[in-house]
Structure 1
Amino acid sequence: MDETVKPRRTRIQREKRDLILAAALEVFSTHGFRGSTVDQIAEAAGMSKPNLLYYFRNKEDIHATLIARLLDTWLAPLREMDPEGDPMSEIRSYIRRKIEMARDFPRESRLFANEMLQGAPRIMAMLEGELKPLVDEKAKVLTGWMRQGRLARVDPYHLIFSIWATTQHYADFDVQVRAVLGPDRGGEGRFEDAARFLEQLYMGGLAARG
């Protein structure tokens, strides 16, 4: 038997790993990487520290696994931007998907934001190896649409950055959003309100002139 081939994990092992990762997400998104410990994660997962360390080598291993999963999920909407589609429809769909992610994955967004604020010391290779090529690819798509006269001419990179900033705000600053909107407007409907506003903002600004 080839000893370099890793044995396939059992269902129970996969479930245990998922349980640990779910607990770690809660701990990391609350306390940040530096403020979190393996003991905290083990307690949140309802298992002993030695049992947890059977599945992951250390805190860094858990964090890296979480970030890799997160980045894959985070990039999915951008990957789906279709060069053959209608530009306005594709951008509107991208904005919608990002708002939905802010609604459905707020802890993941805060985890990512915490890592960025620390200078991305643990995920720079992922940013340069996965994120940058994808953004470069989609920037070329946007530039192509602009040259065809189907979008207003803007900097494609800053367009993508601005969509990230305006949509992820509703996850990273959710407490502030709800406090300012108040009880009448701070419920689940705030995400639909945000999506409609951002659609109007971007669609108006990106409409081809003449």
Structure 2
Amino acid sequence: MASATTPKRNGKRQSATRTSHEANILRVAEEVFAQLGYNGASIDMIADRAGMSKQNMLYYFPSKEVLYRRVLENILNLWLEKMQLLEHSGEEPAQMLRNYILGKIEISRQYPNGSKVFAHEIISGAPFLSDFLRDNLVPQLEADAKLVRGWIKQGKMDPVDPMHLFFTIWAATQTYADFSRQIEIALNKDSLSARDFEKAGDFLTHMVLKGLGISL
């Protein structure tokens, strides 16, 4: 009876070990890709920083491309979750847009390296992401734009181009990750605090809602 349960325990232990190693590799890879981009990073560098041999790391991720795509996939799944305006709590534009903005800026606070990896990818022409963006981001964006057009039709906000509204929100929230060093220097800080992100979220919410003619 005891011997029959041993493989299951070993399987759980092996699974937990694999999950731990993969999480460590992905964390380090995210840092390296954020600093150097895809072309500047190397498997040897990532393995060294992760504290394992190249051969061992390739057991978990068989190539740099596979690892890079996984890093991108992680951050994009988080972004797509926050970009689903239709699923944000609240019924009125003010609350839903506020939740949307705060959700995006919270990702910039928690995952700055992931945001930088995405920025490198887009600046490079999105060689790995073009199809993913067309298949996943565009349909979600169109659904959210349709909701905004409905608010405009109901007279709940000023008539604006929904696409450019979202482009502006993306740029304004992601700058606190992608250009964090610039902001730190301007504010004479070594790093941005949770309070800095809170203030940024409050400001951006105020600016966007007032700009749309929505009562705060």
Tell me if TM exceeds 0.5. Answer: yes
CA displacement 1:37-88 (0-9 Å, x = unmatched): 0001101111000001111110000001111111100111112534871111
Structure 2 segments unaligned to the other structure (5+ residues): 1-11
Distance 1:20 1:208, change over 3 A: closer
Identity %: 38
Q: 1:170 aligns with which of 147, 166, 176?
A: 176
Alignment partner, residue 115 of structure 2:
109
Alignment partner, residue 5 of structure 2:
none
Any residues of structure 2 matched to 1:31-70 within 5 Å, and which?
A: 31-70=36-75
2:180, 2:192 within 8 Å by CA — same for their partners in 1?
no
Q: Secondary structure at the match of 2:175?
A: helix
Alignment partner, residue 3 of structure 1:
none
- For 1:110 and 1:81, the matched residues in 2 are separated by 27
Q: Secondary structure at the match of 1:81?
A: helix
Count the aligned residue pairs.
203
- Kindly state the Cα deviation for residue 16 of structure 1 after the two structures are TM-superposed: 1.5
Q: 1:182 aligns with which of 169, 188, 191?
A: 188
Do structure 1's residue 149 and structure 2's residue 151 form an aligned pair?
Answer: no
- For 1:152 and 1:198, the matched residues in 2 are separated by 17
Structure 1 segments unaligned to the other structure (5+ residues): 1-7
Q: 1:133 aligns with which of 133, 136, 139?
A: 139
Distance 1:185 1:36, change over 3 A: closer
- For 1:109 and 1:170, the matched residues in 2 are separated by 10
Name the Cα RMSD after superposition: 2.2
CA displacement 1:71-126 (0-9 Å, x = unmatched): 10011111253487111110011111111111111101101000000000011111
Alignment partner, residue 97 of structure 2:
91
- Kindly state the Cα deviation for residue 134 of structure 1 after the two structures are TM-superposed: 0.6
Which is richer in helix?
A: 2
- Kindly state the Cα deviation for residue 156 of structure 1 after the two structures are TM-superposed: 0.4
2:85, 2:144 within 8 Å by CA — same for their partners in 1?
no
Q: Please, what TM-score do these two structures have when normalized by structure 1?
A: 0.90
- For 2:84 and 2:134, the matched residues in 1 are separated by 16
- Kindly state the Cα deviation for residue 132 of structure 1 after the two structures are TM-superposed: 0.7
Q: Secondary structure at the match of 1:151?
A: coil
